[in-house]
Amino acid sequence: MKFRSLHDRVVIRRAEGDVKSKGGIIIPDTAKEKPQQGKVVAVGPGLRDKSGNLVPLDVEVGDLILFGKWSGTEVTIDGETLLIMKETDIMGIVGKTEAAADKAA
């Protein structure tokens, strides 16, 4: 299925959580906290300002971002669980992956 974000929506692939605690104890899936970090998979075109001009989003595909614990809506697309949230729910960009850095250069 092909998916395209609208307006200021961002699609995120959540980072994998730790399987072991710092002390080396293996954490079962039911007890794991979901990571609050992820990679941007798709972004919408942006919002329109009062004069009708399109204001693009600050995040790009490939950015590694931090978001709130209860941010976004989980959806399953092609068997993969992803998060869809508004750009305002993103707290910040941790770094850019190689693909995003190459695109910006």
* DSSP codes of every residue in 2-45: -----TTEEEEEEPPPPSB-TTSPBPPGGGPPPPSEEEEEEE--
Domain count, the chain: 1
**Least confident span in 11-20, 59-68, 73-82:** 11-20
When pLDDT is averaged across residues 22-34 and rounded to a whole number, the result is 58
pLDDT at 52 over 70: yes
- Residue 78's domain spans which residues? 9-93
Q: Using alpha carbons only, give the angle 54, 55, 61 rounded to the nearest 5 degrees.
A: 110
59: which 2 tokens? 């995040």
Tell me which residue has tokens 């204001």. 55
Q: Is the pTM of this model over 0.85?
A: no
Domain-located, residue 102: no
CATH number for position 14: 2.30.33.40
pLDDT at 102: 58
Domain-located, residue 26: yes
4: which 2 tokens? 């395209």
pLDDT at 38: 87
Which amino acid is located at 26 in the chain? I
Summarize pLDDT for 1-24 with one digit per residue, the tens: 677 778 888 888 887 755 555 566
Q: At a CB cut-off of 8 Å and minimum separation 6, what does 60 contact? A: 40, 43, 96, 100, 103, 104
